[in-house]
Structure formats: C-alpha cells, structure tokens
C-alpha cells in the first residue's frame, strides 16, 4: 500500500486515523507504542527524528503534523469534503483547526507532561494545576464554537461534512477526562462527541485504538 499511517492509541494521530477511515482508501495503520518508547527506536527515528505521531507516508513521502496531514488528505480525497473548498468557510475551519492544535493541544501537554517545562517537582505540580484550569476554559470556548456552528445549521463542526474538527473535538474532550475534567460539565460538547463516536469511520478508529471516551467512567 502506498499510504501508511503511524499512530498511537489515544494520541492526536486519531484525527488522520479517522480521516483515512472516512476516505475509504486502502492504507496500512501502523501502531507506535509510545509507552514502550517505540518512537525512539532507530527504525521510527529514521521516519520521524522528532519521535512524534502522527506520520503519514504516501508513496515514500513522509508528512508530519496534524494540520499538514489534514490539508494533504483533504486535497488527496476531494470527494470526502473534509474541508470547505475555498473562501471564508475554508479559512474559518482552518482557523479553528489551528487553534485546536496550537492552543488547546499544547495546553494539554502542560497537564500531561509538565516535566517538559521544568525539572522541579514543585514547579511541575504548579504547571499542571494551572494548565488544568486553563484547559477547562478552552473546552468551554470549544463548546461555544461548536454551538455557533450547529446553530448555523451545520451538522458537523466544520460544515456539511465530517472533517478534522470533529475528530479533534472528540480527542480534546477525551483528554479533558484524562485531566480530571468531567465531559458532562460541557453537555452540548459531550453530546456532540458521543454522536461523532457513532460515525462509522470514527467507530472503526476507536475500535482499533481501543479507546474509552470518558476515562472518568469506571
């Protein structure tokens, strides 16, 4: 197969994982077990020296980073309508996608890996506690953006068709539960995420990654 996706269960690579499933194209899903350090093994480092997921390989060409991969897949599979074709509608979806990636996502990194920002356990604890509060406010903002989209008659976050915003919203909401934030605190967002999870391509990705949407549920 010319298309290969390197992903880690529960990571942001869930976004292109869902897009590939929705495309209907054949591809090879290759799981990278981050907890076992497989991202640092020479074979993976030769593909992505940064040791991150996702990585998309198309006919030997390596593409990294969520936004770049999402744009590439939208262009490769125009019939899937992952992004609006042009104009303000496309710009607004990309605006939200980049905000999810460079603001919401990076805030969660401060929750999940505060050791990246300080070697002091006390400082790490303070970074994490502060980031959890910030992350909660960002989930509230994401819910507001979603409500505006749905109120505008859009069935999906980005418009008339399933796309990267939907998969990313699910991922970021799920991460909130990892941070101890109950998704039920954001009822409109949580209802939407559960609907996204029932979309057949998303269901297939969830099953492959064996994900639990709300890790606070026992």
Residue from 212, 102, 90 nearest 163 by CA: 90
CA distance 81 to 75: 9
CA distance 209 to 149: 28
Whole-number average pLDDT of the chain:
96
pLDDT reading at 217 higher than 90: no
Q: Mind listing the pLDDT tens digit for each residue in 14-23? A: 999 999 999 9
pLDDT reading at 85 higher than 80: yes
pLDDT reading at 130 higher than 60: yes
**C-alpha separations of 137 from 1, 35, 102, 115, 141 in Å:** 42, 29, 15, 22, 6
pLDDT of residue 218: 56
Q: Mind listing the pLDDT tens digit for each residue in 49-80? A: 999 999 999 999 999 999 999 999 999 999 99
pLDDT reading at 1 higher than 60: no
**C-alpha separations of 10 from 52, 85, 98, 113, 207 in Å:** 13, 29, 19, 15, 11
Cite the DSSP H helix spans in 40-180: 42-45, 66-76, 87-99, 105-112, 121-151, 164-178
The overall pTM is greater than 0.75: yes
pLDDT reading at 172 higher than 80: yes
């Amino acid at each position: 197969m010319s298309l290969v996706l390197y992903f880690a269960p529960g990571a942001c690579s869930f976004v292109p994982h869902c897009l590939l499933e929705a495309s209907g194209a054949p591809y090879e899903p290759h799981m990278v077990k981050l907890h076992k350090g497989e991202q640092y093994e020479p074979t993976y480092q030769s593909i992505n020296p940064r040791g991150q997921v996702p990585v998309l390989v198309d006919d030997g060409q390596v593409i990294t980073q969520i936004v770049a991969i999402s744009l590439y897949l939208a262009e490769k599979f125009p019939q899937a309508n992952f992004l609006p074709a042009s104009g303000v509608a496309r710009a607004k979806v990309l605006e939200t996608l980049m905000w999810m990636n460079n603001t919401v996502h990076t805030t969660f990194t401060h929750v999940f890996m505060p050791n990246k920002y300080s070697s002091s356990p006390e400082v790490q604890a303070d970074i994490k506690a502060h980031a959890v509060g910030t992350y909660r406010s960002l989930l509230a903002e994401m819910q507001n953006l979603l409500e505006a989209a749905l109120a505008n008659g859009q069935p999906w976050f980005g418009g008339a068709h399933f796309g990267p915003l939907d998969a990313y919203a699910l991922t970021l909401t799920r991460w909130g539960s990892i941070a101890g934030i109950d998704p039920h605190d954001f009822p409109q967002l949580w209802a939407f995420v559960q609907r996204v999870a029932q979309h057949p391509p998303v269901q297939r990705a969830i099953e492959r990654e064996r994900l639990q949407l709300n890790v606070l549920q026992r």
